[in-house]
Amino acid sequence: MLNLFSDTYTVPAKKADAHLRERGSRFLAYAFPCADELKAQHALQDLKKQFPDATHHCYAMVLGADGACQKSSDDGEPAYSAGKPILRAILASGLTNVLVVVVRYFGGTQLGIPGLIQAYGSAAGMALEAAGRVENRIEKSCFFTATHGKENDIYRLLQTLQARITETTYEADGIRIQAMLGLKEWQLLKTRDADYYFPVRFSME
């Protein structure tokens, strides 16, 4: 399961696939890194075009740094026999921002609901394992300003906070920097009084 209290989240390192054969049926599993539902839907539609003659295109997705968005589909298989096992495989992997589609070609032998659950879950787990893992930091946006001549104070603070600078603007009365902070650093900064970092000012815009 995802750790809702962590300041990092884990995503697939790459697109991957895995194939499983069970009593004549073929299960082709594909794992996709997807930052949002629109990209996930595009990937699903592309697979349906690639395998238009498949019996089923079952899938599950988990999106968001906290994994709050979770969806699944049995695509005509018995209820809870395909989409949910795929979703459980994703949750067991600890990954988010991921779509897993398992394409099935029916082989003529009924697998029964336990057999379907096992096949879909196993195929999904194999694809997720092949996709690898990358850890990302949860980031929040923050703005820092200082008068001219105090630029080094901003940069020292940003270095201490391990901030990632995204934009620097020089204005008439000084410098303004937009930066992305890790969740822990952002929460620490949020609890401080502005005078604590004088002469650097910050805002949580």
Q: What is the pLDDT of residue 4?
A: 45
Q: Which of these ranges, 62-76, 81-95, 110-124, 188-202, has the smallest mean pLDDT?
A: 188-202
Neighbours of 72 (CB within 10 A): 20
- Across the range 137-147, mean pLDDT stands at 89
Q: Is the pLDDT of residue 98 over 70?
A: yes
- The pLDDT score that the predictor gives to residue 3 is 47
| pLDDT, tens digit, 9 for 90 and up, residues 159-172 | 988 899 999 999 88
The CA-CA-CA angle for residues 125, 129, 134, to 5°, reads 130
Cα separation, 122 vs 140, in Å, equals 36
Q: What is the pTM of this model?
A: 0.80
Amino acid identity, residue 130?
A
CATH class of the domain comprising 138-203: alpha beta
CB 34 within 8 A of CB 14: no
Give percent of the chain above pLDDT 70: 93
- Please state the domain extents for the chain: 8-135, 138-203
Task: Report the pLDDT averaged over residues 94-115.
Answer: 96
Tell me whether domains 8-135 and 138-203 share a fold: no
Q: Which two tokens stand for residue 158?
A: 């940003």
CATH fold group of domain 8-135: Ribosomal Protein S5; domain 2 (3.30.230)
Contact 17/100 with Cβ under 8 angstroms?
no
Residue ranges in the chain assigned as alpha helix (H): 37-50, 83-93, 112-131, 151-160, 183-191
Q: How far apart are CA 72 and CA 63, in angstroms?
A: 12
* 52 or 174: which leads in pLDDT: 52
Residue showing tokens 């696939």 = 17
Distances (CA, A) of 55 to 84, 87, 103: 18, 20, 8
pLDDT exceeds cutoff 80 at 123: yes
User: What pLDDT score was predicted for residue 196?
Assistant: 59
DSSP state of 54: -
